[in-house]
Structure 1
């Protein structure tokens, strides 16, 4: 793990995932401001054959932004390293900040992931500003993500999209109630309203990435509907603001980072 970060760093993913993420960071064409692990490892239910989702923000040089050419603000690559499939996606800091201000739960989770492969002082500043980007309307993100995963579960019957559905709804309920961001399903399984069979489903997913879900469809459907209702109520009564309050501070951070690259 490199650099400093003003939050609990969690585990060092390079040691736990069987792949050298420090080398991945060093190979990037532009400086990475941070790189974290997302996906099933962040959510707490990786399988033996899960890929490693690495997410982060990079910093383009000024001359890439002031000319006639449109810059490539997102870089995406999937490959196998040391026998592990890596899925890498990073955004230029300007795009990352814009997504953060648009109430995007994906980038919020990536920024605050405790599975840190690389960090910098700019990362620490982003983390400190993150609470001022959280709004009651983040419920829309988690509602939409849960709906997409539920439809996939209905189509395939696989355990993975079902766990993603539960994870999204439980994360959304806790966040929208003002309880902070938690993307870790084993932790969320202790929250009020989480079904008591979640730990068994998590254990089953650890054995195989595309295992079928051994569940009673009617019971699961009732639990999902109940969590959707809980998310609706959490949004209606949320103590969170309706809009981010960090716009000016993030704008200043972006300018400073760009001009001192």
Structure 2
């Protein structure tokens, strides 16, 4: 029995044995499910890591193109149009929606970007000059923001998955190295105690059976001795008595005998 793991403080009975066996079965099933969950989440995290790498590379290319596009706008317009755009924009045209994705019981946030086509507060910007460059710059930065939203969604999901995988792995380790061995040691302890009780019960029954056999033998011996004593007494009573010697005339008739008397004639 492992001293480091120990056992549950239970009373060794048949009912406790059944409870511990049920607990062991549940722990093994839970360990298997947690193991599968950890493997699924780890695989999904690897997929998210690959997508994050692709999104970062795409983000670098898009931001490079956007920077060149902004330089073209500054060259074509001949000044800073940021103040004009800020004053013209009243509502956000680029918006983000959030939803959740269920991955093996873990809800991961996902951000989706969409553009409101009905809102175009600075549609007349660049009407005088540089309109095409401004339009291309706006489209380029819209793609950059979409890539940024995608990257933010992937990185958020990665952080959540990393924390969940750590928790699941701790539970798997605890179930594998603490809960299951502790339950198994408890079952071994209960079985050993029940076996000891069975041996004690068998020894007790053996002693009781021997005592009963001795009592029966003594009772049979007493009955046999009583029968022998009664037989000896009956034999002594049935022995014939010895005849006493006669003191009178041997020819004297027996008055009380069975012979017939002579008739008396008057």
- Tell me which interval the TM-score lies in, with the shorter structure as reference length: under 0.3
Name the TM-score, length of structure 2 as normaliser. 0.18
Q: TM-score, normalised by structure 1?
A: 0.18
**Structure with the larger strand share:** 1
Question: Which one has the bigger helix percentage?
Answer: 2
